[in-house]
Structures are given as structure tokens and as C-alpha cells.
Amino acid sequence: MRRPLLVLRVIISVTWYKSSEASSVSSYLRIRNLYKNFGDFTALKDISLEIEEGEFVCFLGPSGCGKTTLLRAIAGLDLQSFGSIEQAGRDISALPIARRDFGIVFQSYALFPNLTIERNIAFGLENAGRSKTEITGRVAELLDLVDLADQGKKYPAQLSGGQQQRIALARAIATSPGLLLLDEPLSALDAKVRVHLRHQIKELQRKLGVTTVMVTHDQEEALSMADRIVVMNHGVIEQVGTPTEIYREPGSLFVADFIGETNQIHSTITAANGLTVGKCALRSAAHGFAQGQQVIVTIRPEDIIPHEPGSRRAESDHSALAVTVGEMEFLGSFWRSRLTGAELGDEVLYADFSINAVRRLSLAAGSALTIELPADRLIAFPAGGDDVGNG
Amino acid sequence: MSATAENLRPAGRPIKARLGRDDLAMRGFMAVIALYLVIALALPLYAMLSKSFSTYQFDLTSYEFQVSDDTGNFQTAPITAAALNETLQAVPSEDLATSSDGRLPATSFFPEFSFRSPMIYRIRGTGEDVSFLIGSERFSGTAWQEVDSNTFRRVMLRPVRSQGLQNYTTYFSTPSLFRSIENSLFISALSTIITVTLAFGFAYALSRSCMRFKGVFRLIALAPILVPSLLPGIALVYLFGNQGMIKGLLLGESIYGPIGIVIGSVFFTFPHAMLIITTALAISDARLYEAAESLKASRWKIFWTVTLPGARYGLISAAFVVFNLVITDFGLPKVIGGQYNMLAVDIYKQVIGQQNFEMGAVVSVVLLIPALVAFAVDRQVQKKQVALLSARSVPYQPRANPRADWLAFGYCSLVAVFIVGLLAVCQFAALIKFWPYDLSLSMNNYAFDLMDGGGWDSYYNSIQLALLTAVFGTLVVFTGGYMVEKIKGFETGRGLFQLLAMLPMAIPGMVLGLAYIFFFNDPRNPLNVFYGTMAILVICTVTHFYTVSHLTAVTALKQMDREFESVAASLKQPFHKLFRLVTVPVCLPTILDISIYLFVNAMTTVSAVVFLYSPTTTLASVAVLNMDDAGDIAPAAAMGMMIFYTNAGARILHLIISKGVLKRTQAWRFR
């Protein structure tokens, strides 16, 4: 009698989950209306966020944006002033660290200097009713997992930075916590080691399926590792989305500017999908601005398509402009080119042209060419808003 | 109602952390140690302060007498003591002011009193709190007490206590008392100028020259730390006293007085100043010197524009430390001060000599003021000094310069001769039969059991005190430092604790000792069971030297990764496991440093414990004082040197243990 009932229950809950994707019931970590005040300074303003089980989420933003504060609130290291945090359906808002369920890796690694690698990893396994052999086995397994099987007898100071970081990771996941918190785990490492560790951490996370939150100020790190990125600025969430969403469809001028590089051009709205830049009218992605409104329109340098001068064979939906090439800067796989022209007025565009395109069009400083601006890559944001970066 | 303000503070109450077991345990530990500091420091000081405002006076209007005729019948009306005194003028009004122990015989008011007379006397108070003694029994209240004439001579009136500034008025209207303020300031200022100048030269030679034997010079310069401050006084007596070896050098001036105090103060404060200034010079940045040289600045100019400004905070800090040491020191002026009064000695004289505890408290409060000012300034300067440190500084490497190096060597040799000389004189005096008449060697002066001061027992007591202080003190200080450093949140409590931990540095030893008398010797205080025991000596000494130990511990703890506790908590491990397995082993060198610091100071301290020892807990350092007081100067020197050798031995032992422990437990430090 019992079994069918259970099956029914599962079916119901699954369908219910599907019917309401945004529903918080299924979220593993649920943050609601979080505030953090340090005296008069508000470090976090009304943060609400949901993280699914098994997800890898990055908090990304410039220093002082509140990303570390948010992580420390989740860990209970620095309690939020207002708001609630739920983990696996349990309200952990005010719980002490020891009664929460997470492993954490700090930027400093915080390995115990006087204990061997083995004892560091075993630290959290002791006092939990495990036998000695059980612990030894688990430690060996973890050392294997982070590719440091032969380093167990050494002291932390005898390992390189990258190795220490992996030990810290092994220690954090030793007790199989439900949540893994990484606080700028790679920022103290060399560039090469960092790239290597990125893959290793991501791999490990996928293998273990542990819900992971990582704080970083390095957009490359976030874009390459995260399932979803939470872009933060001045204590608020600017945008939440997958790496491609964040990059292709920035939700605010700040995001457009902070992630990757982008041209910012002053512009006036002319129609529901049209605007003017300098002296020419451009078709853009659909936007909700009223006619005549001043906006900033953005386009990434690599989205600008070069054509031979004079060609006006742009697809119907795309605008074309005649420009002159200014300085060209060689950046390895492409040339960054400064573009000006009568049609642009006082505005300047930067475009990244592939080496092939430069050769094909024989581009050099002073060349004339026509550029195509795909309408769906021209994204408008309100002008005069704050956080306009320096482009 | 602005919308933004609404946004920043949402409705509802802020989240309050729920405390885990660890949080509660850590707060509990901190509370216990804070309670220790309150009992061992704050309450005694409060008791002393209130004592200094207490005045005691015989209130004659509140006593009534009635005298019978020869047959025992009371024919005359009761009469107040005040009325009797008015007609008799038996007790002049200035004699009515007294101390808490004051007693006034009732017979003073009956000039024709005879203990053989058949008359019967009655006495009573006019209020409930009026009290008097009959024999040793205390009576109070308005009921008549009837006594025969033989008993009446044992009736004593007791003073009433009131609050007021009268003690201070008395103090400042007694020239022999307030003259000490001027004396203390003068001696301290003079000693400070001389010591800091000498120590700067010495530290400069150590850090900026390439002379030989730097290590030896450093060791010699630190030697005075190992002896009680009064030992140089004894050496000076032998050198320049009435029968001194080289008395003629003083050109007729007496060593007993300012000259002796200043020379002795320079001796015992020298290592403190030298250490601080050496540190200040060590952090100077070599790049500044390179820049100055590339600009073709002369050595002289470099000294004035780079060296001195770089060390200025060190110099200021050293000056205030020395000033504080001198003004609060008691042993040295006691031994060599002669008739020249200083504040710290005044406290001793008032309390031990005249049993005037209230006046002792007043002098203590007066002595607190310069000590507090010096302390506050020093703290400010120390903060600035830290800011000077930069991770990018390049340490300065001196280059050989034969002439300057020989000059430095000569100068350091002179200072070394001064320090070693005074110690050698003491040792010499201790081994001679009877200066200056019988110069044969003997061990007679080590027969301490034949002298005042407690004999060899006081030496063993001192070692016991030093060991207990080292063990108990290190435990309390390090635990307290850990809790205050690592507890999460609880800012107010931690701030208060820090304040309590900093306070002992500002409290002169004499003041602390006297405060202990007031607090622990109060019969109403249940803690007075400690009075006269070894325990109170340990408590007092730990408290006296708390601050420096605390700062040492906190500095070491600050260097530990802030996140160790977070990691341990996230791994569900209790803080005491982390403390045991990581914190203590990593901080072991610091822990050993704290314990040797406490040991050495417990061996040499005189000021605080001089009020607190009992016949069973006499101490070596106090024995030096008492034997000197009794004229047994040679044995005093012998005992002083025993303290020196014990401390030197302890230091060597500490060095060996530290090295051994380091080798065994600190393997992780080396790659």
C-alpha cells in the first residue's frame, strides 16, 4: 500500500517543480531580503537569491561590491543585519557556524601550519565516531582526488601555493558538506597555476555534485567556471544569469561595462527599434524607451563586422556606416582598431578585427571601410544613470 | 519619509546571532579572566580611591557621660564630651582628626580621674551609629553602659568616617609631603634625559657600526633587568658612601640623595630604553640612506635628517617608559635617597612608618597622575610607530668604518664597565668579611638565617613565587589574550577586557600593593582569606606585570590566520581542539617568552609585594631591602646577587628549553 503512494508523491512534486520553475521550494539555498549594515554603511541592500542543488554559482563584482560580505553571511562568519537564509529548507539565518552545513576555502588557505597535510585533512573527520582506519582511508581518497597522494606527510609550508590550495579544498570537502564556499580561492596564485586549478576545481565540483558558491573579482574565472553568475555592485545584485546571458545580454550598463569590453555611445531614441548616433540612424534591438530619450547604446568591439568601403549590402536589419581607421593596436589574435567618421559625429568606436579580416581588407591606419552593426548587438541603456564606467 | 532610508533599514528587528557552544564557552572563559582582573585590579583600586577620600574624626557631641558620687548614686545630669572639652580644653581640635584606627581615651575628659576611686561611670552615644570600645569589646547605640572606674580607663572613643577632600587638603598644606612631587618630577626628568641619551648612543653603536663583540655588549646592557632596582643603590653605597672606595670622586657631595638616585636609576632603566631604541633604529629603511648619500649629504646631515627622525617615536616611547619606571620606583630611593623624599617612598613611609593609610592612599593617587599621563602618551606613540613600518623597507646594513667603529667600541666599553662594575662591587661586597676593616674573603654574609629579612626561606619563597607566577600568569594571560582576540562579535565586552588588560601598566607597584591592603585586608571581604598567603603575592605579581605579557600574547595571536577558527567551526570541531593542536604549539616560543618575563620580574619586584608579604612568605627582594634597612648591607648585596644569578640561570635555561622545544615542535617552520 505504501509504495504507490510514495510514487504518486514523487510524481506530484516533480510536476509541481516543473510547473513553477522559479519556485523557491526546490532551491537548495534561498536568500531573502538580505541587508548588511556596518554602522552607517550599507554593504548589502535587499539581496534575494536562489541557488539550486548541485549548481556552481559565482559572485562577481569589483572590490567593495559586497560579494565577500554575502558569502560570509551565508557561512555565518559575519551575520547579516536583516533578512533570512535557508539551506535545504532549514532556516539558518542566525545559526552559529558549527551548526551550519558547509565547507569553506579561504584566499589564505588557512591551513594549520604545524600539522601535516594528512592531519589537516583529517581535522574535520575526527570526533565524529569514525574509526582510525576509516579516517586514514578517507584521507588517502581525498589526497588522490586532488592529485597529491604522495604529499601527505609534508607540512603545508613545504608545498607550493597551488598544492596548498588543493589541500584546503580537500579539507573542506572531507566531511562531504552540502555546500562548498570558495572565497577568492585562486587570487593568490600565479596566472598559469590559476588556469590549471580552475579546471580542476570545476571538474571536482561536477564529480561530487556539491552545490558551490565562489566569490571572485576575475570575470574570466567566473565565465569559465560558473553555471550561473551573480554580478554585484555597490551592495546590490545587478544581474543573475548564465555566463553567456551575462555576456550577450547584459542587464545594465554596469554589467555591459564590467564584463568584457564594450563601446558606449551617446544616442537618441527615434523609434521602437531605432536610434541615432552622430548623424546617422541605426536599427537596434527592441527597447522600451520613449522617442527622443537620451540613451547610451553599447556594442562589443568583436560584434562590429568590417566590409569593403562603399559596400552598402548590409542585411536589412543591420545598419552600415562608413568610417576611417585610426590607430590599430595588435593584441595577439586580433587588431583593436579605433574608428572615426563623419557619420559617427564626435563619437569613436573601437572594433576588434581578426587577422584574416585585416589582411583581406588590407586595413591600416587611414584606411576607409564600411562597418556593419548588427541590430540585436546594439543594446540601449538609460543615459545619465550611475555606474557608467570608463569604457 | 524618504524611500531610500526605508530601503536601508527594513522593518523588523535585526538578526541576532544564536550562540553556539563554542561561543558560550569562549565568552565564559573571557568573563572568568575579566572577573579575575576586576577583583585583582579594579576593585582594589576603587577601594584605595575611596580610602583617599575617607576622613576619620572624633565627634565629641555624640558621646554622653554620667558620673556617680562616691556612693554610686547618679546625682548630676548627663553631659556631652563636647561640653566637657569646651571647659577643659583637654583635646585640642586638631587632634580630633585621626585615622581609621584612631582611639581616644574617655578619661581624657576627666582630669581628676583615678582608677581606684569608687565612682561609677556611664557612657552612651546620642545616635545608633556612635561607637566606643570597652577593652576590646565594641559598643554602639544609645543604651547606657555602666563601668567602674578601673574599667573606665579602658573606654576608648572611636572616630566617625566621612567623605571629603580633607586628606588632600592636608597633603597639599604639608610642605614635607608635597615637596616630594617636585623631587620626583625632577629626578625622573633628569634620569630620563641621561638614560635616553646614553641608551641612544649605545643602540646606535649596536645597529649602525661594525664594531666587534656586539653580542657581548647587548648581553651586558640587558643584565640590569635581572636584579632588583635597589641593588645599584647598594653598590653605590660601597663606592661613594661614607666609607666608600672612591668617595673622593664626588668632591664632597653626598651620594645619599639626588646624585645616588639618578645614577642608580640610569643603571636599572638602561636596558629598557636600549631595547626600545634598538627596535626603533632597526626598522629604519636603508633606501632612505641610499637616497641621502646619492644626494651627497654629509654624515652629520644624514644623522639629523634621516636617523633621528626615523627613531623619534622610539625615543619618545623610551623617554616615557624610563620616566614612568623612575617615578614609580621605590627600592632605589629607599636605599640611597637619604633624606630626599620621593612619592613612592612617601607611600611606604606613610603606611609602614606612620600607619596612616589614608595619607598613603592620597600619595598613591598623586603618583598615579604622572604615571597615567606617561602611559597614555606612550600608547599613542606606539600606535604611530607601527604605522612607520612598511613591508617594503630594506634593512640597513652598516659598512665598516675603522675610526667610527673604534669610537663606538670605546663608548660601549665605558657603558659596559659602568654596568658590570656596579654588579661586581656588589659581588665583592658580599664576599668580604667586613668592609673596610677586614678585607679577607668569607661566606659569612650568606648566612641569611642570622639576619633580618627572613633568611634563606625568603630566597626559596621568591623562587616559589616566581615559578607560580610564571605558570599561573602565563596560563591566565595567554588564555585571556586568545579569547579577546578570537571571540566573534561581542565588541563591547572585548573592548572592556582590552581596557582592563592595559590598565596594570599604568598602575605603579606601590599603588597596587597598597590597594591590595585596602581591598583584601578588609574583614568584610570574603576574599581576605588570601591575605598574608603566597596566593595573594602571586595574584598581585601577575596583575602587576599583566600588560606587557598580554601585549606579547596578543601580538603573537594576531599573526595567526584569522580564519583558523572559522575553518575549525565549519568542520564542526570545538575551539579547544584547535587551541590545543594548533594555537598553543604555534605560539609556544611566545608562551615561553611570557613565562620567563614573569619569572624574572617576580624575582626582582619589591614595590607591590612589600606591603603584602607575611612572616611565612618573606621574599628575597624584600629581604634585600630589609637587611639594608637594618644595616646589614653586605648580606643585602649577597642576596641581591643571588637574585641575579638565579635570573641569569633561568634565562639560560629558558634559552636551552626554547631551542629544544623549537627543534622538536617547530619542524614545520623549516622547508
Contact B34, A113 (CB under 8 A): no
Residue A218 to chain B, least CA–CA distance (Å): 22
Whether the CB of B569 is below 8 Å from some CB of chain A: the reply is: yes
pTM of the model: 0.84
Contact A343, A323 (CB under 8 A): yes
Phi and psi angles of residue A50, each rounded to the nearest 5 degrees, phi first? -130, 140
Cα–Cα distance for residue pair B259/B63, rounded to 1 Å: 54
Cross-chain Cβ contact B20/A100 below 8 Å: no
Percent of chain A at pLDDT above 90? 62
Q: What is the pLDDT of residues B123-169, one digit of tens each?
A: 988 888 888 888 888 888 888 888 888 888 888 888 888 888 888 98
Instruction: Please report residues of A whose CB lies closer than 8 A to that of B571.
Output: 103, 123-124, 171, 174-175
**Nearest beta carbon to residue A112 from set B9, B19, B582:** B582
- Evaluate if residue B394 carries a pLDDT over 90: no
Cross-chain Cβ contact B570/A100 below 8 Å: yes
Residue B571 to chain A, least CA–CA distance (Å): 5
> In 3D, which of B325, B131, B348, B121 has the Cα closest to residue B232?
B325
Cα–Cα distance for residue pair B206/B350, rounded to 1 Å: 44
B166-to-B56, B177, B346 alpha-carbon distances in Å = 10, 15, 18
Residue B16 to chain A, least CA–CA distance (Å): 6
- How many CA atoms, within 13 angstroms, populate the side-chain half-sphere of residue A298? 25
Instruction: Please report residues of B whose CB lies closer than 8 A to that of A123.
Output: 568, 571, 573
A77: nearest CA partner in chain B: B566
Residues 6+ apart with CB under 8 A from A109: A156, A164, A165, A167, A168
Mean pLDDT of B393-415: 88
Cα–Cα distance for residue pair A28/A50, rounded to 1 Å: 7
Global ipTM: 0.82
- Evaluate if residue B629 carries a pLDDT over 80: yes
Cα–Cα distance for residue pair B451/B334, rounded to 1 Å: 19
Helix ranges (H only) for chain A are 2-19, 67-75, 117-122, 132-145, 161-173, 191-208, 219-225, 243-248, 253-258, 355-360
Cα–Cα distance for residue pair A295/A388, rounded to 1 Å: 12
All cell numbers assigned to A267:
544616442
All cell numbers assigned to B13:
528587528
Biggest distance spanned by C-alpha atoms of chain A: 83
> In 3D, which of A207, A199, A204, A229 has the Cα closest to residue A216?
A229
- Torsion angle of alpha carbons A87, A92, A95, A101, nearest 10°? -10
Answer whether the bond into residue B436 is a cis peptide, omega within 30°.
Answer: yes
String of DSSP letters for A69-99: HHHHHHHTSS--SEEEEEETTEE-TT--GGG
Cross-chain Cβ contact A158/B564 below 8 Å: no
According to the model, what pLDDT value does residue A391 have? 33
Phi and psi angles of residue B586, each rounded to the nearest 5 degrees, phi first? -70, -35
Q: Tell which wins on pLDDT, A279 or B6.
A: A279
> In 3D, which of A306, A312, A314 has the Cα closest to residue A334?
A306
- By the 10 Å C-beta count (0-12 exposed, 13-18 middle, 19+ buried), B532 is classed as middle
Most confident of A182-196, B376-390, B449-463, B641-655: B641-655
- Torsion angle of alpha carbons B441, B446, B447, B453, nearest 10°? 140
Cross-chain Cβ contact A99/B15 below 8 Å: no
> In 3D, which of A349, A272, A348 has the Cα closest to residue A304?
A349
Residue ranges of B 242-281 with Cβ closer than 8 A to chain A: none
Whether the CB of B584 is below 8 Å from some CB of chain A: the reply is: no
Percent of chain B at pLDDT above 70? 96
Which residue's C-alpha cell is 555606474?
Answer: A387
Contact B520, B531 (CB under 8 A): yes
A44: nearest CA partner in chain B: B8
Cα–Cα distance for residue pair B230/A109, rounded to 1 Å: 52
Most confident of B238-252, B388-402, B536-550: B536-550
Most confident of B4-8, B69-73, B232-236: B232-236
Cross-chain Cβ contact B569/A98 below 8 Å: yes
Whether the CB of B576 is below 8 Å from some CB of chain A: the reply is: no
Residue B390 pLDDT grade (very low, low, confident, very high; cuts 50, 70, 90): low
Contact A240, A222 (CB under 8 A): no
**Nearest beta carbon to residue B668 from set A114, A127, A128:** A114
Cα–Cα distance for residue pair B378/B313, rounded to 1 Å: 9
Contact B278, B315 (CB under 8 A): no
Contact B202, B274 (CB under 8 A): yes
Mutation for A interface: B571, B586, B671, most A CBs within 10 A: B571
Residue B591 to chain A, least CA–CA distance (Å): 16
Q: What is the pLDDT of residues A305-359, one digit of tens each?
A: 998 887 765 555 678 888 999 999 999 889 999 999 888 888 899 999 999 999 9
DSSP code for B615: T
- How many CA atoms, within 13 angstroms, populate the side-chain half-sphere of residue B386? 6
According to the model, what pLDDT value does residue B385 have? 63
Q: What is the pLDDT of residues B74-126, one digit of tens each?
A: 888 888 888 888 888 888 877 788 877 788 888 888 888 888 888 888 898 88
At B123 the three-state DSSP class reads: strand
B19-to-A76, B27, B479, B563, B642 alpha-carbon distances in Å = 11, 10, 20, 18, 53
Q: Tell which wins on pLDDT, B3 or B277.
A: B277
Whether the CB of B588 is below 8 Å from some CB of chain A: the reply is: no
Residue B245 pLDDT grade (very low, low, confident, very high; cuts 50, 70, 90): confident
String of DSSP letters for B499-515: HHHHHHHHS-HHHHHHH
Residue B636 pLDDT grade (very low, low, confident, very high; cuts 50, 70, 90): very high
Q: What is the pLDDT of residues A121-169, one digit of tens each?
A: 999 999 888 899 999 999 999 999 999 999 999 999 889 999 999 999 9
At A388 the three-state DSSP class reads: coil
Give the Cα-Cα-Cα angle B420, B425, B429 (nearest 5 degrees): 150
Mean pLDDT of B252-269: 94
According to the model, what pLDDT value does residue B21 have? 87
Which residue's C-alpha cell is 652598516?
Answer: B398
B585: nearest CA partner in chain A: A114
Sorted by where each starts, the structural domains of chain B and their CATH numbers stand as 21-45+454-666 (1.10.3720.10), 57-161 (no CATH), 175-346+399-444 (1.10.3720.10)
Instruction: Please report residues of B whose CB lies closer than 8 A to that of A95.
Output: 18, 20
What single letter denotes the amino acid at residue A104? Answer: I
Whether the CB of A12 is below 8 Å from some CB of chain B: the reply is: no
Residue A334 to chain B, least CA–CA distance (Å): 39
B23: nearest CA partner in chain A: A96
Cross-chain Cβ contact A45/B7 below 8 Å: yes
B2-to-A39, A40, B6, B7, B129 alpha-carbon distances in Å = 19, 16, 6, 9, 64
